[in-house]
Structure 1
């Protein structure tokens, strides 16, 4: 609040936008699992239980996605909405002006969940080759925290660095859907960028799933 009082209009936000940004991004932490994790795959790969998952008549990736979406929905309800409502009562947050803006935000939120899952699924699959996911999990947390917009709006980053940060997949998890909520982003372009990263990461996850299937067979299960 002090920053926006000293610099009105900073990053294209007024003080209400800035406070709303803070509460909305905090509400995303649970559903998007921004600190990493949320998937059981690393432990199942280490224990060898993944071999049973791979012979089941269901897609490992889709099964993990369904499980993750259920977790995200629960955390959005119990971890995301109550603090936001409290923030609205204490500070007076911004709310979308009409149904069109709400629909664009919900579409962006759904795509953000897919991007988040796609990234974390790749991190989880890396255990098949690295055996220990702690290093890559810490790297993932640092990248997600810094480049998603969870710490500060990415619009504060200057020049080409800011443009790059807003084009990376982590921005699609937080910054882009929050801008849709605030009405600060072109809807079609924003959703298209999110959809691109969702398809790209899920596609890489599909290839990674095929790769670990061959790896498990080669190792004899």
Structure 2
């Protein structure tokens, strides 16, 4: 299928940026150490903060670093190129392709995410596991469910970023919205602190937002905070947000396409 070819092409494309990838691995690892020691100090005062023990909290840090690029936790992730194509008008060429615009960019994003997970995810997590006592599972089944959860999280991330990119059809400059979206993702995904740490009703609401599906759920699956019914509920939660946001993206895309047709005469 053409979407598989698009994903494979995207994987190969990002694989050519070897220096940038190496720099990203180094940066993720350094920040992993900084955040890990901050967590050690925090959990020394509150040993079971958010329901995590110290090993689970440290594992959460390194999982976040491993997924930072793959799940585009700081925004971008290749869809900034779509924003530029919209601003320049080159998106009209994309709309002439015998392929759906949303599916095309989703396939490309999945290829990008696969490369980033392998290239920028494995090494930081391995380094963290060598230096710190991380609560990582020893059974293949949990790792398998984790990868399924990561895939769903990437789709949710894509759907959110795709909506932001489509806003460029109406905005002269979508960079401000992209920045706000990236900050929201960092905070409400659990990148700054696990959402379970947030107090009271605020924490409960934060765990219901779509950003929680990007990092919080996959991390909880791997550290053992979700099992049995909790695992199933987490995956359903991710799948529901993915379906809803992709459907919303199609509606916005349809409206944007009509805008292009009207402007084009």
Q: Residues of 1 paired with 2:157 and 2:238: CA distance?
A: 11
Q: Does 1:192 align with 2:236?
A: yes
1:35 to 74, 81, 90: 74
Match of 2:197 in 1: 156
2:48 to 6, 9, 13: 9
1:141 to 178, 182, 194: 182
SS in 1 for 2:99: coil
1:87 to 128, 133, 154: 128
**TM-superposed deviation, 1:106:** 1.5
SS in 1 for 2:75: coil
Q: Give 1:43-192 correspondences, 5 Å limit.
A: 43-185=84-226, 186-192=230-236
Q: Residues of 2 paired with 1:35 and 1:102: CA distance?
A: 24
Q: Which has the higher contact order (CA 8 A, sep 6+)?
A: 1
SS in 2 for 1:20: helix
**TM-superposed deviation, 1:93:** 1.9
**TM-superposed deviation, 1:114:** 0.4
Match of 2:22 in 1: none
Number of positions where the alignment pairs a residue of Structure 1 with one of Structure 2: 221
Structure 2 gaps, min length 5: 1-39
**TM-superposed deviation, 1:105:** 1.2
Q: Residues of 2 paired with 1:187 and 1:99: CA distance?
A: 15
Match of 1:211 in 2: 255
Match of 1:24 in 2: 63
**TM-superposed deviation, 1:147:** 0.5
Q: Residues of 2 paired with 1:82 and 1:97: CA distance?
A: 18
Q: Residues of 2 paired with 1:212 and 1:154: CA distance?
A: 34
**TM-superposed deviation, 1:194:** 0.5
Q: Residues of 1 paired with 2:45 and 2:74: CA distance?
A: 31
Q: Residues of 2 paired with 1:15 and 1:151: CA distance?
A: 16
Q: Residues of 2 paired with 1:103 and 1:17: CA distance?
A: 18
Q: C-alpha offsets along residues 47-82 of structure 1, whole Å, 9 cap, x if unaligned?
A: 111001111110111110111111111111111111
**TM-superposed deviation, 1:94:** 2.0
Q: Residues of 2 paired with 1:25 and 1:34: CA distance?
A: 9
